[in-house]
């Protein structure tokens, strides 16, 4: 073993080279994206102003602001959360607290993986077939939000299940031994200690839902509307679709306008994501048992 010093030195050289090579690859993966983000900020930054955020588009969407799209996105995301959070938390509670290790649980897990993996445009087709036509909601916030909610359901389920399973099993047994029902145990001990983790997942879902475009194109989001939505049965504009529209569908848009829209969209998405990550790190650093 000790004779092979020279070889070891060579090994060390290879080792160093490999480290550098992989670091370069990581860099090459990240660098273009950072450049692109820089370009967005550089070109779109000049457009951003309070007026841009809070006024309506004018001149056939070639000027003015993005307020109706921003407002509509809040509607869409809000309604989608109202649907997917209770449903997702219930599903996660079932999987973490009730389900046994059997084929049925595996089938549910497979369904969750597939819900996340089905192309967004297929979710859109489902939304059209089920909510717009079959249930008769028409193209509306309700139909679009339902489609979004189902599409992003796995985000809530996975985050919630992880935070539930992070609560040690011994706590549950201690409660059961005292005569607590499963639900009393979940409500008094498990959920209170998982709620911050669930919140992390919810924030992540806000980020995902905000950026989705294809699922809302035919279910409730409109290219342009002269009025703001007043109920879930109205159509609405949405920020993500608005970016598509001003970038591809409207002639004569000044170059920097779509950059501004893209910048606002990506700012919201990354802000929400960073918030979720920061929150998760804060939770990890906090010792509760």
Nearest distance from C-beta of residue 232 to other proteins, angstroms: 20
Q: Are 71 and 57 in contact (CB under 8 A)?
A: no
Closest CA to 244 of 279, 219, 280, 211: 211
* 88 or 229: CB nearest other proteins: 88
- 137: helix, coil or strand? coil
Nearest distance from C-beta of residue 48 to other proteins, angstroms: 15
Closest CA to 85 of 166, 19, 150: 150
Nearest distance from C-beta of residue 74 to other proteins, angstroms: 16
Please state the φ and ψ torsions of residue 168, each to the nearest 5 degrees. Answer: -55, 145
What is the maximum span of the chain, computed from C-alpha positions, in angstroms?
82
The piece of 48-56, 66-74, 227-235, 267-275 that touches other proteins (CB under 8 A) is 267-275
Residues 212-241 close enough to bind other proteins by CB under 8 A: 212-214, 217-218, 240-241
Residues 98-117 close enough to bind other proteins by CB under 8 A: 98-100, 107-108, 110-115, 117
Angstrom CA distances, 74 to 46, 108, 174, stand at 24, 30, 43
Number of residues that bind other proteins (CB under 8 A): 110
Residues 198-217 close enough to bind other proteins by CB under 8 A: 207-208, 210-214, 217
The piece of 50-58, 59-67, 226-234, 258-266 that touches other proteins (CB under 8 A) is 258-266
Tokens 């950059």 belong to: 259
Map residues 51-90 to x or -, x wherever contact with other proteins holds by CB under 8 A.
-----------------------------------xxxxx
Residue 23 is a binding residue for other proteins (CB under 8 A)? yes
Nearest distance from C-beta of residue 231 to other proteins, angstroms: 23
**CA-CA distance, 223 to 237, in Å (whole number)?**
6
- Helix-strand-coil percent breakdown of the chain, rounded to 5? 75, 0, 25
CA 257 to chain centre: 25
**CA-CA distance, 160 to 162, in Å (whole number)?**
5
**CA-CA distance, 219 to 77, in Å (whole number)?**
14
Nearest distance from C-beta of residue 252 to other proteins, angstroms: 16
The piece of 45-53, 74-82, 146-154, 229-237 that touches other proteins (CB under 8 A) is 146-154
Residue 194 is a binding residue for other proteins (CB under 8 A)? no
Residue 179 is a binding residue for other proteins (CB under 8 A)? yes
């Amino acid at each position: 073993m000790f004779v092979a010093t020279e070889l070891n030195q060579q090994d060390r050289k290879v080792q160093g080279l490999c480290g550098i090579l992989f670091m370069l690859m990581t860099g090459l993966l990240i660098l273009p994206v950072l450049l692109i983000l820089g370009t967005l900020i550089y070109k779109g930054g000049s457009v951003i102003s309070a007026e841009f955020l809070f006024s309506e588009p004018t001149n056939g969407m070639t000027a003015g602001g993005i307020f109706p799209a921003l407002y509509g996105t809040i509607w869409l995301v809000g309604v989608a959360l109202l649907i997917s959070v209770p449903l997702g938390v219930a599903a996660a509670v079932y999987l973490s607290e009730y389900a046994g290790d059997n084929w049925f649980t595996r089938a549910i897990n497979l369904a969750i993986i597939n819900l996340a993996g089905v192309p967004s445009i297929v979710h859109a087709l489902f939304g059209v077939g089920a909510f717009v036509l079959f249930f008769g909601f028409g193209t509306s916030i309700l139909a679009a939000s339902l489609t979004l909610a189902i599409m992003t359901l796995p985000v809530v389920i996975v985050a919630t299940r992880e935070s539930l399973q992070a609560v040690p099993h011994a706590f549950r047994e201690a409660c059961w031994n005292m005569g607590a029902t499963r639900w009393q145990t979940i409500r008094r001990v498990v959920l209170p200690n998982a709620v911050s983790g669930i919140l992390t997942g919810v924030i992540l879902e806000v980020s995902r839902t905000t950026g989705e475009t294809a699922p809302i194109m035919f279910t409730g989001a409109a290219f342009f509307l002269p009025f703001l939505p007043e109920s879930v049965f109205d159509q609405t504009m949405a920020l993500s679709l608005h970016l598509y529209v001003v970038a591809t569908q409207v002639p004569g848009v000044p170059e920097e306008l779509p950059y501004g829209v893209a910048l606002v969209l990506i700012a919201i998405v990354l802000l929400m994501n960073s918030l979720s990550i920061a929150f998760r790190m804060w939770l990890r650093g906090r010792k509760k048992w």
